[in-house]
Amino acid sequence: MLYSRSIEDTLDPELFENPPAQYRGAPFWAWNCRLDKDVLLSQISQFGEMGMGGAHIHCRVGLDTPYLGEAFFDAVSACKDKMKQEGLLCWLYDEDRWPSGTAGGIVTREEKYRMRFLVFEPYEMEEEQQDGYMAAAKAVRSRKRKLLGYYRITLDSKGMLESYECVEDSAGGEIWCAWLEVSGNTPWFNNQSYVNTLDKSAIDRFLEVTHEEYYRRFQDDFGTVIPAIFTDEPQTAHKERLEDPFQKKAVILPFTDDFEETFKKEYGISILAGLPELIWEKKSNGYSQIRYLYHRHVCERFSEAFGDRVGEWCRNHGIALTGHMMNEWTLHSQTMAVGEAMRPMMNFGIPGIDMLCDRRELSTAKQAQSVARQMGRRGVMSEIYGVTGWTFDFRNHKLAGDWQAALGVTLRVPHLTWVSMEGEAKRDYPASIGYQSPWYKEYRELENHFARLNTALTRGKAKVRVGVIHPIESYWIYWGCQSHNADVRETLDTQFENLISWLLYGLIDFDFISESMLEDLDGQLRDAAEAKDGEQIIETADIYSHTFHGGCHAANFQVGEAAYEVIVVPGCVTLREHTYKRLQKFHSQGGRILFLGTAPSCMEGRESVDIRRLAEECGVIPFQRESLLNSLEPCRDIDMFTENAEGSDPSRMKHRENQKRAKNMFYQMRVDKGAEWLFLCHVNKPANEDITYTERLTIEIKGEYRPSLYDTVSGNITECAACYENGKTMITAYVSAHDSLLYRLAPGRYMEAGAAETPSFLKNKCGIWPDEAKKLLPEPEHFSLEEENCCLLDLAEYAFDEGEWQPEEELLRADNRFRKALGYPLRMEALAQPWLKQEEDEEVHRLRLRFRIDTEIAIEDVYLALEHPEKVQIYLNGNLCGNEERGWYVDQSIRRIYLGRIQKGKNLLELYMPFGEKTNVEWCWLLGRFGVKVSGRKKRLTAYPGVIYYGDYVTQGLPFYAGNLVYETSVETEAGELWTEISRYRGALLQIKVDGKKKGNLIYAPYRMNLGKVRAGKHKICIRVFGNRANAFGPVHNADRTETWYGPNLWRTRGNKWTYEYRLEEMGVLSAPLYWLVKDEEE
């Protein structure tokens, strides 16, 4: 069982200091090439070295071993056994790429399991051109369809739906047709289609092909070394709408063969009879109930077919279902792709989220956390760090993980680590969180932090008093014509986002209540009560009426395993009848309900007087932050206040401010067998990560406690000073921009006096010393590189077959030209996987590349790094070079070939290679002991730098260097305690040595480190900058610095987003570090 030790009476200090695999992250392990067991097994050892708890076996672009074939399962078996041997967990993944459901296209080879969708279009409309293929379930038109009906549509002058009727044929008036269409093929699903996620039999087939096969082979390890299986972005056909009511275009909506039948059975009416109301706004009679019911039925069909069915299979077979939905973030995105995000995850063993681009999708995390709390799950999964690029450093890894931990995440799935960087794989959403990154051996520091945190945050139950009715169902009734409803929908989404921000940043924790989940959970309780012979059957509301939750009201509103003292109804337009009855009962028992903004006017999508009356009885408050927080003040458990502990900032004439409520902190509080846990963290990046300060943080906790600080970075546990006022516990802490705090709160009082906050205390404990005490660390005397320097070769002249040489072009662009000319699919498109085509590629064409290399000096012992050198003839200045491989560069697929001497002046390096559909034309790299100077798009080799000074080392002869660098300097000091501050650096992290002894990693603001006691004399200081691969492998020709989506096409931008001139990232220690000495008498 995952988190098995979290049910022990107390948290063992040894468990906290050294958490086992079940508390640690497990990255997406991208199987993206032809699988080699030796390579796979070696990488498993590296995961352990990095502090990971295992890995998710995740098939991605480039997989060249047949999916779910014998060789594939042999590799899985070997990896599973190796992980078991090393005390790691082997997490399964249920698909070839994503979204889940097709088993790499195997399921949808049978037409009956293919996705269906409804097409509503004008009669005799010409076929529309579709955009390029996507890695999602966007409908692919096949024209394989059956007619569902003709509709005569009458709109008024404003485009409102005046009348409509079903007709027998296409004669007379404006006629629209409804079709049920079977999805066409797409390369992304390996030349098949997406699966019908509204059909239980299709998902049963998916389970048969995938899950049952895993179980047949590895059942003995289910629930132990194999804890769960990950499902990725299941979804329905994406819902569309008209831009304006008079637009003549096809509208696509989710549908399936028996949708009309099940809709009638559920609601007693025909969806086909009211279909036009899904498209246009009714002129009269208010909202469209059939539109509301349609969206509700789609979501329920999807949830029952996929989440419920797969979750039940996993539960019955001893593992957990984890993963996440598609488009979880906004009301709009959820409605479009899944209906709502919470209900489909109801039967997940570990509900999950996807957090890309380092976004702060608070709604996404809070929804999953709410499901976990209400379903009694111990944690939440997050697919984290995806699409952040090579420059995403350790401080950002921690900050992103911390705020998500506060919102329930206990299983981080770092996105991602590659088996191989061959071909397109190196652009598959880097960075690689694995051996290809030069900092990978230091990652254990981050994993230890999060694992220690998880030992506490998987214990007990969350302390939360407020429940918020999720407003998604009110959004459904506005899913119509864009020009009519866009403003309303935008307002609803803005209110949704504001509500979450106001509460979380206002330090009032809460859970969302999904109306569909509420009804299902209550139904399960009712069924359980009815199943007990001889017991009186009671109303669901009575089952929940008097659960004690430590609050100020006798009544609590229970949702599964969670209970709430106050319910907020946030500007909803409609509520379910079941929700209304629960709220009414709660209100009658003294429960408190806040109607925010406007009262609902509808029940089940239909006008209702009863629900308005309830709102009037409870009261409606303005949809404003102040009103909301003031109304919820009795529910507050935590408050936090901050001030700058370092005094005034003369450069900005800003005086020391008085304390004010923290604006950038989240918390989670848990009740745990006689004690409580409190986790606090920062949320957003500082405006300037180079200029930070120490905050004096005052924490107010309702109740009297004896706090202990559990330091998740060091593993130490210390009792903390506290004071008490008006029944509250007050703790003072000193933190900076990336810090987080974990406290265990035992009942009682701290009996000793707290440490006085004297100037000496601030100096020696926080490193806050006056500027005049600090000195500049001397410039480096020496430096060393931990890899060879490199020069990127990405621009070349080229000739195809027997054609003439063409002017210099960037290689990925040139590759596109060859492919277009030959009719091959472009690698930037959603290609079918290589494993489909196991026969050897016929590389019948010939490609020649010519690189012009200018150098100021002759250079000995130069190497060329490239892929598949065995297929390439290499000529340097007309001389054929040998293809003897001498190791690899960055990744084992990139081989080092010895070139020898490059002469002073101009050199020609020519590569001759065969070319076919599966050929990868990729950048190359010169390696050796030289410098490089870049001017625009031009490069010139220079002498190896004699020294590297503080400042951007990219401009000092290392523009493409992608490894680690060490600065060496020395200082003469008296005896005492040596401190340093390095506030401006670019790289993953820094590591400091003094006189050859490692003092630790310097990562987080305020970037100060106590280097320990030193004797009088001269001391050698080494600063190791852990680099990244951005300038050698990143999108160095992307001209759009604002782009945050680090996907494959960022290497192939167009128009004014492209530049041939190199756009390189700063690297190194950018300003001279500071140091100061604390003499013994000053302590």
pLDDT at 165: 95
Could you give the angle at the alpha carbon of 484 between the alpha carbons of 478 and 487, nearest 5°? Answer: 75
Do strands 54-59 and 28-31 pair parallel, antiparallel, or not at all (unpaired)? parallel
Per-residue pLDDT of 386-396, as tens digits, reads 999 999 999 99
> 331-363 burial string, b = 16+ CB within 10 Å, else e?
bbbbbbbbbbbbbbbbbbbbbbbbbbbbeebbb
All residues at 6 or more sequence positions from 233 whose CB lies less than 8 Å from its CB, including other chains = 98, 99, 100, 136, 323, 324, 325, 326, 354
pLDDT at 980: 98
Lookup: tokens for 706: 């004896």
Main-chain dihedrals φ then ψ at residue 841, nearest 5 degrees = -70, 135
Lookup: tokens for 1046: 């680090």
Cβ–Cβ < 8 Å for 162, 155: yes
Lookup: tokens for 51: 């502090």
In the chain, residues under CATH classification 2.60.120 are 789-942, 959-1082
Weakly modelled stretches of the chain, pLDDT under 70: 128-136, 532-554, 647-659, 753-765, 829, 1081-1083
Burial class from Cβ neighbours inside 10 Å (0-12, 13-18, 19+) for residue 807 reads exposed
pLDDT at 841: 72
In the chain, residues under CATH classification 2.60.40 are 637-754
E strands, 437-591, where? Answer: 461-462, 466-469, 510-513, 557-559, 562-564, 566-570, 574-575
Least Cα distance to 151 among 140, 141, 159, 161 occurs for 161
pLDDT at 142: 84
pLDDT at 171: 77
Per-residue pLDDT of 574-602, as tens digits, reads 999 999 999 999 999 999 999 999 999 99
Cβ–Cβ < 8 Å for 144, 182: yes
- CATH 2.40.50 for domain 637-754, yes or no, is no
CATH architecture for segment(s) 789-942: Sandwich (2.60)
Per-residue pLDDT of 7-62, as tens digits, reads 999 999 999 999 999 999 999 999 999 999 999 999 999 999 999 999 999 999 99
Lookup: tokens for 666: 């989240």
Beta pairing partners, 469 = 513
Alpha carbon distance 1036, 849 (integer Å): 20
Q: Establish how many alpha carbons lie within 13 A of residue 659's alpha carbon, considering only the half-sphere containing its beta carbon.
A: 11
Cβ–Cβ < 8 Å for 365, 353: yes
Tell me the CA distances in angstroms from 1040 to 126, 809, 1001, 1044, one per residue in order. 38, 20, 33, 9
Alpha carbon distance 1079, 974 (integer Å): 8
Q: Using the 8-state DSSP alphabet, how is residue 466 labeled?
A: E
Q: Give me the CATH topology for the region 959-1082.
A: Jelly Rolls (2.60.120)
pLDDT at 132: 55
Cβ–Cβ < 8 Å for 1061, 1081: no
Which residue stretches of 532-661 are H helix? Answer: 540-543, 577-588, 609-618, 625-631
